[in-house]
Structure 1
Amino acid sequence: MKPSTYIKDRKYLIIFYFILMAFISSVMYLDGTVNISADNIIYINAVSVVFFCLYLTWDFLYQRNFYTIIHEIITSRQEDFISALPEANTNEQQVFILLLKQVYEQQNARIEALHERKREDRDFFITWIHEIKTPIAASRLIIDNSIGKPMDEVLDKLEDELDKIDGFVEQVLYYSRTDSFMKDYVISECNLEKVVKESVKKQAKMFIGKRIKCEMADLDMEILSDKKWLGFIIDQILSNSLKYTDQGGAITITGYENEKEKMLVIEDNGVGIKAEDIARVFEKGFTGYSGRVYAKSTGFGLYLARTLAIKLGHTISVESEEGQYTKLMIHFPKPLSYFDVT
């Protein structure tokens, strides 16, 4: 800290001091009851100025070390500057240091969150790349072995692999748009039955190929959501159910309604979820015991479903018993009316 900078910071104190001394001197000089000469008043002012200057000098030296260290930290651009901060001499400096530490911790938390997001994105895309290579390789194998086989059979198998690729591409597109979600959705009334049937139609070949029966009931209801994003959420849940339901199984899709909410329930009689895995099925990248044993899984389908559902104002819950069933429920809370609030 330069002396000129210090004087500039203390200018109001200096102005106040001279105004105060001028007032006191005027009172003493003009008051007839006080027997004091002008020379004495000048002497008193001179002595007080000297003491005031001594005080400013001492205060400057006392504060200079603190601000010098702060300035050195700024000019050197130290990354871990918190450990280099000097000891506070005043309450004001203490508040200043506490504020710096708080800002530093908040910034570190943001940076760590960005690094974590980057790691998660990297893990997702590495897994996604490995997953999408499987149907591509399978398509090449089908083409290589297509000689002498009926064209309809070859095209049908190729279509299955293309559907898988399309599903993976759709998943990565929705994943990449989760951060800009607010710009790309419109909440409106949509018919739940229509959305569900569109999703079932997309998975029709899987239902037929595994001879899985699909039963739907009580779905004719209006809900507030975004049709496109809700369709993707249902796609992920249905895909998961089909993946873990054995040949000849069944998936039941039912709608429910009560005073507080509407609900879509997708239940399968597949392999179920181990009790210790239920609490983690919506975690990013978590595949659990079923995902490792019964089918290859990225662990991102249900994570995306729940993330997007929350952004739409819905919630997803799960019930399951290993070897018996798995039930995924999408909850659509009803908007509160004026009478509900009052």
Structure 2
Amino acid sequence: MRLRDYIRSHKLWLISNAVLVLLTNGILFGSVPLGQGTADIVYMDVLLVTTQLVFFVYGYVKQKRTYARFLHDTGEKGRKTDPQGDFYTDMLTKALERQHKLFSEKEEEYKKKMNETQEYMTQWVHDIKVNLAVSELLLEEMENGHELRNQIEQMKFRIHQVLQMTRATHYNEDMAAEEVDVCQVLRNAIKENALFFIHKNIEIETDLKPFTVISDKKWVFDILCQILNNSSKYTPPGGRLTIAVREEERAYYVSIRDNGIGIPREDLPRIFDKGFTGKNGRSGTKSTGMGLYYAKKMAERLSIGLEAASEEGVYTEFTVIFYKLSDYYTVYSAIR
């Protein structure tokens, strides 16, 4: 830090002190006869100027050391201050630059760790799928293996869910806008979960009216699969699942309603919260509280509505809303 930088940054303070000295001298010289008390006034001026000069030098040395320490900490030792700039502005600019650099480094480190985790999880999922495929082949040679097959299907669903969750942090890299036949995707989702319904002898009634939207087929499939799997878990044996499509002016509504155990009123507003399991998740079936959270997250990303209504011990109904204005432009913007 140079002396002229310090002077420039304290210019107003120096001017104000000089004005005060001049005003004081003017008043004193005007209030005493000429030639009387002049020596005292000059002596006072010397004391004032010397005192100000001592404090000025002290402040300069102290601030110079502070600035040198700042440059050393920021790794910019030897860098000169902009002659046209302000000392404090220059320090603030350097501090912001340093913070931005540190933030960028931390961000890159975080991204690297996330990518490594995703790569590991993806590889783990594919490896475990091989083990499941071998288990299915062995299962075909067994008799009365219905319960074991059901457990294997549950494992496959959970593995798919893990893969889906690892991809969920990279939406922009894993989305494709296309024309989606929602009813056909819904039928595929029912087939994917068919074994769960068959195992519990759950009857499925459908009232489907074909319609298409511009969206991402894979993510729509995953959302519907998650809802159907939830229904299969919380509907007792011999229950019923009703799936219907209705069209209104603003949207298409896909409702999936079961006559299962329902959701307690106090839990209903929180079922889409991250990690929330609720009363039903803590008793009976095991739940991670992540499935509906990611389903909601994906739906919001695709500009799809997802709502739930329920009465404990009577029914649970999920409604997937495909807005007619949620067209190619909306999804394309989300991908970009």
Pairwise same-fold verdict (TM > 0.5) = yes
Task: Report the TM-score, using the length of structure 1 for normalisation.
Answer: 0.62
CA displacement at 1:73 relative to structure 2: 4.3
1:243 aligns with 2:240: no
Q: Does 1:216 align with 2:213?
A: no
- Pick aligned residue for 2:72 from 67, 75, 89: 75
Matches within 5 A, 1:9-20: none
Question: Which consecutive residues of structure 2, in runs of 5 or more, have no partner in the other structure?
Answer: 12-51, 76-85, 328-336
Change (3 A) 1:302 1:68: same
In structure 2, the residue corresponding to 1:215 is in which secondary structure?
strand
Aligned pairs for 1:127-166 (under 5 A) are 151-154=142-145, 156-166=146-156
Shift of 1:159: 3.2
Aligned partners of 1:67, 1:308: CA distance in 2, in Å?
55
Contact persistence 2:153–2:195 (CA under 8 A): no
Distance 2:323 2:67 in 1: 54
Q: Displacement, 1:209?
A: 0.9
Q: Deviations over 1:198-236 (max 9, x none)?
A: 000011111111111111113411122211111011111
Out of 218, 223, 248, the residue aligned to residue 228 of structure 1 is 218
Answer yes or no: is the 8 Å Cα contact 1:3–1:60 preserved in 2. Answer: no
Q: Is the 8 A contact 2:253 2:320 kept in 1?
A: yes
Find out whether 1:181 has 2:171 as its counterpart.
Answer: yes
Aligned residues: 257
2:191 maps to what in 1? 201
Matched, 1:261 2:258: no
RMSD of Structure 2 on Structure 1 (CA): 4.5
Write the letter of the residue equivalent to 2:292: L
Cα distance change on mapping 1:100 and 1:193 into 2, 3 Å: same
**Which ranges of 4 or more aligned residues in structure 1 deviate by more than 4 Å?**
55-64, 94-101, 103-107
Tell me the equivalent position of 1:21: none
Counting only pairs closer than 5 Å after superposition, residues 1-342 of structure 1 correspond to structure 2 as 1-3=1-3, 6=5, 62=59, 65-66=62-63, 68-73=65-70, 75-76=72-73, 93=88, 151-154=142-145, 156-335=146-325
Partner of 1:46: none
Q: Which amino acid is the alignment partner of residue 299 of structure 1? A: G
Does the 8 A contact of 2:3 with 2:60 survive in 1? Answer: no
Q: Give % identity.
A: 30
In 2, Cα distance between the equivalents of 1:336 and 1:290?
Answer: 34
Deviation at 1:267, TM superposition (A): 1.1
With a CA cutoff of 8 Å and minimum separation of 6, indicate the structure with the bigger relative contact order. Answer: 2
